[in-house]
Amino acid sequence: MSIFKNKQTPEYKEKQRHRLRTARIWGYRIGKKYQIGDRINKANAWANAHRRKAAGIALAVNFCIYLIGFGMCFADSKANNGIADPMQDFAAVQPMFAQIHCIHDMKQVEKSSFVALSNRAVRLKHEVDSLMAMPGKTHRDSVLALEKYDELKMIMNK
C-alpha cells in the first residue's frame, strides 16, 4: 500500500480537476441562492456613497477586535495567580543549548580530523613522489611506495 500518492498521474490530476469543478459549482449555487454578489455590490455602493460612515464602522470594528485581544491577554496573565518566574522559560531552553554545543563540538572534532587526514595525505603524496623519483630503487622501495600509494588512495576515498 502506498502512503504517498503520485500527484503526476493523469488519474490524480483528473480527480483534482473534478474536485475543483465541483467546488466551483457549489460556490456558484450558494452565491445564487443567497444572492451574495448582489449584496456585495449593494454594500460597495453604500460604502462609496457614505465614505465617512464606512471608515468609522471599519475603525470601530478594528478597535473592538484589538480591545478584545488585549482583554484576553490580560485575563490570561491574571489566571497565573501571581508573578511568573522569568527564568522558568530559560530552563526549558537549556537542553537545546546543550545539544547545540554538542553539535558544535562534534563539528570541531570532525574538522580537526579532516585537517589531520589532509595533512597526512599531502605528506604521503610527497613521500610517494620522492620514492618514485629515486634513481636507484630497490624492490623494498617499490613495495614501500605501493603501500604508501594504497594508504593515500584509502584516505582520498574517505
Secondary structure in 3-state letters for the chain: CCCCCCCCCHHHHHHHHHHHHHHHHHHHHHHHHHCHHHHHHHHHHHHHHCHHHHHHHHHHHHHHHHHHHHHHHHHHHHCCCCCCCCHHHHHHHHHHHHHHHHHHHHHHHHHHHHHHHHHHHHHHHHHHHHHHHCCCCCHHHHHHHHHHHHHHHHHHHC
Per residue in 62-71, pLDDT (tens digit) is 999 999 998 8
Global pTM reads 0.38
The whole-number pLDDT of residue 1 equals: 47
Please state the rounded mean pLDDT for residues 81-104: 75
pLDDT at residue 125 is higher than 50? yes
